[in-house]
Chains A and B, each alone.
Chain A
Amino acid sequence: MLTKRIIPCLDIKDGRTVKGINFVDLRDAGDPVELAEIYAKSGADELVFLDITATEQKRKTLAEMVRSVAEKVNIPFTVGGGISSIEDVDILLKNGADKVSVNSSAVKRPELINELSAKFGSQCITVAIDAKQVNGEWLVHLVGGKVPTDINLFQWAKEVEERGAGEILFTSMNNDGTKAGFANEALAVLSSELKIPIIASGGAGKIQHFTDVFLKGKADAALAASVFHFKEIEIKDLKEELRRNGVEVRL
C-alpha cells in the first residue's frame, strides 16, 4: 500500500536556508545541503525547497544549490519559488531537482501548466495553491498569500488537474502559522474531487494534526516547516504515532 508522505519545507534565500533553524547538531544552520541530509536520515519522505531570492543572480544560485543537494541527498525533492518559464524548469531539473512547483505564474498564465507537463511530464509538475476562506468561500491568493483573487479554490484545482499537473500543494492561509491544525474540510473536498495527489500545508502544530490531516483531510502528504526545524516534532515519533493510528507510513 502506498504510504502517506511527510515533507519538511525549507525556505531558501541566496542559496541559504532562512527560517530560524534550531538544530544543535548542525555545523552550519544555513546550509541547505546539510539540513537536507539530516532530514533524509531522520525519515523525511521528500523535501520541498521554497526559494524567496529576489536578486538577478537568483537562477544561478538556486541551480547551484539544487545541484549540491542532488549530489548528496537520496530522497526526492521539489523546488519552487518564482518559477515562470520552461527555461526555469529545465535548469532545475537538469541540475537534479525531481519536481518543481509553480504558483502565481500558473494563475497569471494557466497555459504554463500545459506547456510544462507536455515538455517534462506531469509527474514533475506540482502546482502550489495558496487560498483563504473569505465569507465562506475559498479564494486563491497570490504572492505568498498576500494578494487576493476572485478565483475559487476548487474550480482552480480542477482546472490545474485538467491542464496536466501531477499533484497539488494546497496551503490554507487561514491555518498557516496558527499551529492549530490543517484545513481538513477543504482538503477532504479537494481529495475527493481530484484524481491527483494532494499535499496539505499550513497549520501543523502537533502530532495529532498530522493524524487528522490524513484521516479527516484525506491528504496524500503533509508539509510543515517550523515544527520540524525547531524539533517540536521528531519525524520518527510522528510516524510511529501515525502508524498506531492506522495511517500507513514508511518507517
Chain B
Amino acid sequence: MKIVIIDYGAGNIQSIKFAIKRLGFDAVLSSDAQEIKAADRVIFPGVGEAGSAMKMLKSTGLDKVIPELKQPVLGICLGMQLMCRHSEEGDTEGLGIFHADVVKFKTQLKVPQIGWNRIFNLKSELFEGIKEQEFVYLVHSYYVPECAETIASTEYGVEYTTAIQKDNFYGVQFHPEKSSDAGEKILENFLSSPSLLK
C-alpha cells in the first residue's frame, strides 16, 4: 500500500503522517506528480487560507494533477474545501471536483468553530463502524452547504456538509487525525476498506 500525502506547503501535515503510522501504515510526503499518480491512496491536507493555498497548488501544477487522479483521494479540512468549485474565502476558484461552493458561517455562534461536534446522516463506507452522532474535531470559519454529494452532516447554526464524495474523491471537513479513536477508524476505513479499492 503506497500512501502519499500531497505536500504543497500547506499546514500541519506531520499529524496526518503520525496518525497513519499509528494505524500501521507508512505515508510519504510528496509534491511530485508522478509519485502522486502512482499511489494507492492520496491524502490532500490543508490548513490556512484558501487563496494562498490555491496559489501554491497552481505554482506547482498540482491543480491540474489532483482532479485527474483515479485512486481514492481524501481531502481534509481546507483540502476538502479546495476540491469544491469556489470559496468565498479570498473569492477563490477551487478544483471543481465537488459540485458545491464554500461559504462563510453567518451565524451568531462563535467563528471559527473550534472543537468537537457531531456527525450524522452517515452515508459512506468511510463511516463503517462509526455510529451516528459520533464526535469529531473541527476548526473552520467557512463551510460547504449540504448538497447531493454530502455523505455526512453537522449542525452549527445551520446543517452543513462535514463529509462529501464524488466517485473516487472524498472530503472531510473535520480532522480525522485529531478526532480520537473515531477519527482513526475513519482514516483506517479510507486506507483499507475493500470497497474503496481502485
Cα distance, A196 to B110, chains bound together (Å): 5
Q: Answer whether A94 and B14 are a contact pair too, CB < 8 Å, given A1-B155, A2-B109, A3-B135.
A: yes
Task: Return the CB mask of B136-179 against A: 1 if under 8 Å, else 0.
Answer: 01011100000000000001100000000000000000010111
Task: Please determine whether B114 and A166 come into contact, CB atoms closer than 8 angstroms.
Answer: yes
Q: Answer whether A74 and B180 are a contact pair too, CB < 8 Å, given A1-B118, A122-B112.
A: yes
Q: Is A230 an interface residue (CB 8 A)?
A: no
The residues of A that contact B12 with a CB separation of less than 8 Å are 93-94, 96-98, 124
The residues of A that contact B180 with a CB separation of less than 8 Å are 40, 74-75
| Choice from A1, A118, A195, A196 contacting B117 with Cβ under 8 Å | A1
Cα distance, A166 to B115, chains bound together (Å): 12
Interface size, A (range): 35 or more
Report A90 CB to chain B, min CB distance, Å: 11
Cα distance, A36 to B165, chains bound together (Å): 34
Task: Please determine whether B181 and A74 come into contact, CB atoms closer than 8 angstroms.
Answer: yes
The residues of B that contact A166 with a CB separation of less than 8 Å are 112, 114, 139
Task: Please determine whether B113 and A124 come into contact, CB atoms closer than 8 angstroms.
Answer: no
Task: Return the CB mask of A119-140 against B: 1 if under 8 Å, else 0.
Answer: 0111110000000000000000
Cα distance, A195 to B112, chains bound together (Å): 8
Task: Please determine whether A195 and B15 come into contact, CB atoms closer than 8 angstroms.
Answer: no
Task: Please determine whether A93 and B11 come into contact, CB atoms closer than 8 angstroms.
Answer: yes
| Choice from A70, A95, A122, A220 contacting B110 with Cβ under 8 Å | A220
Task: Name B's A-contacting residues (CB within 8 A).
Answer: 11-12, 14-15, 18-19, 21-22, 47-49, 109-118, 135, 137, 139-141, 155-156, 175, 177-181, 183-184
| 16 pairs, CB–CB < 8 Å, chain A vs chain B | A2-B113, A2-B117, A3-B115, A40-B180, A71-B21, A74-B181, A76-B139, A76-B178, A94-B14, A118-B49, A120-B47, A120-B48, A121-B48, A195-B110, A196-B112, A197-B114
